[in-house]
Amino acid sequence: MQLHLLLVAPAESAIAPRSDATADPTPHVLHSKNIGDATKLVQCTPMLAMVVIDPLIGVPDAVVLVDGLKKSHPDLPLLWIGEGWQDTVELEGRRPDGFIQADTDFDKLNDHARRLLRQQLYDSSTVELVRSSALAVLRESFCTVATAGEPCLKANRHTMAPVTAILSFCGPGISGQLSVSGRVEHLATIWRRVLPNRPNVSTDQLEDIAGEIANQTLGRIKAFFVAEGQPFDIGCPIFVRGDVVEIRYKSDRSSLLFSLQEPEGTLYIQFCFDTYDPSQRREENAESSLAPGGELKFL
Amino acid sequence: MTKTIMIVDDSITVREQLREVLESERYDVVEAECGEAGLEKAQECQVDMLIVDVNMPGMDGLEMLGRLRELADYQHTPAFILTTEASASLLKKGRAVGATAWIVKPFKRETLITGLRKVLGES
């Protein structure tokens, strides 16, 4: 699982990335040395998973940063280095989500960040289910063979590309959203693959193709949960237009983000649970499902 | 005489895919983007068969089919459900409202055409 971390720390901090860190793709680390830059980076980095704050930048500044980020990005996990946090600070309950000892190094920080995120994380079977469902839908329904990039955890639900379709789902102990984002030219290419005799395509149709990719992907995911005894209903799609649109959603769950790449472009699949309680699976609710792929079942 | 098939699906992509396949097989096509529109159009022009999605804004496909079966002209008109929904309980509901067959998206052209020729008595 790929992580994009923002480290707010002075250059001399023990947890600043090593000089060879850029050669290591996991995690991707952005480094800011002051709260002004840090705030800007949070705004413009939609796939950020966590902010790590070293109070060596100055405790008052670090506290202001925690306060500001918890107000503006309540779903973005914050990790605080060392002992400088005072619970007596009056921030109306806004505080870091985790603490790590000051004598840590970058590798320990990486491990700790992963442990913290795992509390709200997607297990490997969920990751594989979303990945394989999306790839199969593209291949079988949309004549598109893509490869999935390393999955990322993303702290918000901002859109990743100018055309986005979002589908919500909800059932006992399970709810969330799945979205598909793509660029106009790429979605138009997919449309022409599917319908080569209808090359003229409108923005509405591009939104629709993103919506149908989302619908069929979520349908496959649903079949898995139905078989496990935790069914859910799928809602109507919401379409969003605009380069990177900030979507504010009151949930403390981060999103699972995949890029699905092919030479003509990249689609982004975001999947997130708002609630997920596997203990609400009921054997008596478990059902078989027809396999996708066009077999005709007479009733 | 050319048979008329109604597609009821909120996805333009799916309607266009189906239209292309059906027109190439020389069927006339009528489209509706939701259950309410499907019911209206079915009463405006007699159709010989329906291909209906389940999840749509407003009236869903199974409810639409149930209401259509109450009309004298549509008590026995073949209707395929084409959907991402695949659970046994929904198939049972489909059977109860008089669906003829169920296909989980995506559809295969040959399977669809073979199936609809069969129910239209053309095979």
Cross-chain residue pair B12–A293, CB shorter than 8 Å: no
Q: Give the torsion through C-alpha atoms of A190, A268, A233, A174, to 10 deg.
A: 160
Cα angle B116-B120-B122, degrees, rounded to a multiple of 5: 95
CATH T-level topology, domain A4-118:
Rossmann fold (3.40.50)
What's the structural domain count of chain B?
A: 1
Token pair listed for A149: 């990039």
pTM of the prediction? 0.80
Encoded tokens for A94:
């806004």
- The structure tokens 């920080």 sit at A109
ipTM tops the 0.85 cut: yes
Closest CA to A237 of B73, B12, B116, B42: B12
Contact list in A for residue B69 (CB cut-off 8 A) is none
Domains of chain A, residue spans: 4-118, 124-285
Q: Which of B31, B86, B32, B82 is nearest to B52 (CA)?
A: B82
Domain extent for B71: 4-119
- The pLDDT profile of chain A, 299 residues, written as one tens digit per residue, is 666 889 898 877 767 665 554 444 456 788 898 999 999 988 888 778 889 898 888 888 888 899 888 888 776 788 888 766 665 566 666 778 777 777 777 777 777 776 666 555 577 788 899 999 999 999 999 999 999 987 777 766 778 899 999 999 999 999 999 999 999 999 999 999 999 998 889 999 999 999 999 999 999 999 999 999 999 999 999 999 988 787 777 666 778 888 999 999 999 999 998 888 888 888 877 888 787 777 888 98
Whole-angstrom Cα distance, residue A187 to residue B53?
Answer: 23
What distance in Å separates residue A90's CA from the closest CA in chain B? 47
Q: What are phi and psi of A294, to 5 degrees?
A: 95, 0
- Listed residue (B67, B36, B35) closest to B52, CA to CA: B35
pLDDT tens per residue across span A86-132: 655 666 667 787 777 777 777 777 777 766 665 555 777 888 999 99
Q: Do B111 and A212 touch (CB under 8 A)?
A: no
- B42 in Cβ contact with B74 (< 8 Å): yes
Q: For residue B42, what is the domain's CATH number?
A: 3.40.50.2300
* Shortest Cα–Cα distance, B103 to chain A (Å): 5
C-beta separation of A179 from A164 below 8 A: yes
* Superfamily (CATH H level) for A124-285: CheC-like (3.40.1550.10)
Contact between B45 and B30 (Cβ < 8 Å): yes
SS3 at position A156: coil
CB contact, 8 Å: B23 with chain A? no
**Which of B20, B88, B101 minimises the CB distance to A195?**
B20
Identify whether the C-beta of residue A30 lies closer than 8 Å to the C-beta of residue A5.
yes
Residues of A in contact with B12 (CB under 8 A): 204-205, 208
Region for residue A126 given its phi and psi (left: phi exceeds 0; alpha: psi -120 to 50; beta: otherwise): alpha
Query: Phi then psi for A165, rounded to 5 degrees?
Result: -120, 135
Question: Rounded to a whole number, what is the distance in Å from the CA of A226 to chain B's nearest CA?
Answer: 7
